[in-house]
Amino acid sequence: MKVLVVGAGAVGGYFGARLAEKGEDVTFLVREKRAHLLNEQGLQVKSIHGDYHFYPHIMIAGDKKESFDLILLSVKAYHLKKVIEDLSPFVGDQTLIMPLLNGFSHLDMLQERFSEERVIGGLCFIESTVDQNGAIVQTSPIHELVYGALNNEQNKAVEKLEALFAGSNAEIRKSERILTDMWHKYMFISGLSGVTTLFRSPIGPIRENEFGLNAAQKLFYEIGSIMRAEGAPIAAGIEDIQLEKIHNMTHGMKSSMQRDMEKMTEIEADHLQGYLLKLAEKHEVETPVLSMVYANLKIYEKNR
Mean pLDDT for 236-243 is: 97
174, 185, 218, 298: the active-site residue: 185
Mean pLDDT for 165-179 is: 96
d(CA 276, CA 194): 12
Amino acid (1-letter code) at residue 84? I
d(CA 76, CA 61): 17
Over residues 198-235, the pLDDT tens digits come to 999 999 999 999 999 999 999 999 999 999 999 999 99
Known active-site residue 82:
no
pTM for this model (two decimals): 0.92
Mean pLDDT for 180-184 is: 97
Which residues, listed in sequence order, are joined to residue 57 by a DSSP beta bridge?
27
Helices 178-199 and 210-230 cross at an angle (nearest 10°) of 150
Over residues 11-21, the pLDDT tens digits come to 999 999 999 99
Give 233's contacts (C-beta < 8 A, 6+ positions apart): 177, 179, 180, 183
Q: How many residues does the chain have?
A: 304
How does DSSP classify residue 79? G
Give 207's contacts (C-beta < 8 A, 6+ positions apart): 213, 216, 246, 247
Amino acid (1-letter code) at residue 159? E
